[in-house]
């Protein structure tokens, strides 16, 4: 029974996996059922999930990695070498490198969309699927997300627009970039200390040059997904037969209805709405997240 959700005292194992036109950085910690963790952004790296997500390593074998062109997987990667298809291929490389016939996949934010894209192509690879504060998975829901933000955060959006027009932001200045995300996540992280923790972790191992590169990569991935008017994973999700847990926060800036659409589309999916929790539920509500994930695996093992 998976009930121990405290920090693992063991040291992580780190390394690099060769991939086409890239070296994928990974970080592995814990023992038990393997869970591949897909970070969000998509212009971030895995560091913003630490150390809080490591609580799961007392019961699971966690495999983090930096998506190509970001974080410690940035070296020698050109933005033109990154696409939705290369992202899917990289997850498959992880499975093969670690000799995993099956594994659970946990996607946070943008990582939720990426997890579903992978699951639709390789459903036999996933033992379980956890979507934590998932990004929208259709063009329509992405537009809904934007419209909701305009209604609730008009002032913040004006600040973001002004900040993104500055030379410092365009050049990838790390302090300006941090201020951008401080405003961006302000309404979805109610505790000031949580906001500062997330902002301080977002660009670990980034430089001004790699920030600019990550933004180009982000735009390329948006062009492959949300920008397309016909982009819609929801009808396809009905064919998945994977034990699925959808976790969302009641004040996540991504509308709750977007997460409910995902849960309703996947047969048998569990939907959990956490109270007093925003977009970073693993940080804001760690005990609740631990119990929910524990119950999810107990029910299905």
What are the extents of the domains in the chain?
13-299
Closest CA to 242 of 272, 265, 267, 271: 267
**pLDDT tens for each residue of 88-132:** 999 999 999 999 999 999 999 999 999 999 999 999 999 999 999
CB atoms near residue 283 (< 10 Å):
22
pLDDT at 50 over 80: yes
CB contact at 8 A, 40 and 110: yes
CATH code assigned to 13-299: 3.40.50.1820
Average pLDDT, the chain: 94
CA distance 182 to 165: 16
Please give the pLDDT value at position 204: 87
Please give the pLDDT value at position 2: 41
CA distance 92 to 289: 27
CA distance 57 to 2: 11
SS3 state of residue 77 = coil
pLDDT at 153 over 60: yes
pTM for this model (two decimals): 0.95
CB atoms near residue 51 (< 10 Å):
13
CA distance 51 to 48: 8
- Whether residue 188 has a cis bond before it, omega within 30° of 0: no
């Amino acid at each position: 029974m998976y009930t121990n959700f405290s920090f693992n005292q063991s040291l992580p194992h780190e390394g690099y996996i060769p991939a086409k036109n890239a070296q994928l950085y990974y970080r592995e910690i814990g023992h038990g059922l393997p869970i591949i963790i897909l970070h969000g952004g998509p212009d971030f790296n895995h560091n913003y999930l630490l150390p809080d997500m490591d609580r799961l390593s007392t019961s699971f074998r966690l495999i983090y990695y930096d998506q190509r062109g970001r974080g410690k997987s940035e070296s020698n990667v050109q933005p033109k070498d990154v696409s939705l298809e290369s992202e899917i291929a990289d997850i498959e490389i992880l499975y093969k490198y670690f000799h995993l016939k099956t594994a659970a996949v946990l996607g946070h934010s943008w990582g939720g969309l990426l997890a579903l894209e992978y699951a639709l192509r390789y459903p036999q690879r996933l033992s379980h699927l956890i979507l934590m504060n998932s990004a929208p998975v259709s063009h329509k829901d992405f537009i809904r997300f934007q419209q909701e933000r305009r209604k609730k955060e008009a002032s913040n959006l004006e600040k973001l627009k002004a900040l993104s027009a500055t030379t410092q932001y365009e050049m990838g200045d790390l302090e300006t970039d941090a201020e951008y995300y401080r405003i961006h996540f302000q309404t979805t992280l109610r505790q000031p200390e949580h906001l500062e923790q997330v902002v301080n972790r977002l660009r670990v191992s980034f430089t001004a040059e790699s920030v600019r590169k990550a933004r180009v990569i982000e735009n390329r991935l948006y062009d492959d997904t949300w920008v397309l008017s016909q982009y819609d994973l929801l009808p396809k999700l009905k064919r998945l037969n994977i034990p699925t847990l959808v976790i969302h926060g009641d004040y996540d800036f991504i509308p709750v209805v977007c997460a409910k659409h995902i849960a309703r589309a996947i047969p048998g999916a569990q939907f959990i709405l956490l109270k007093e929790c925003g977009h970073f539920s693993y940080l804001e509500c760690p005990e609740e997240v631990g119990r929910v994930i524990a119950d999810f695996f107990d029910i299905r093992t």
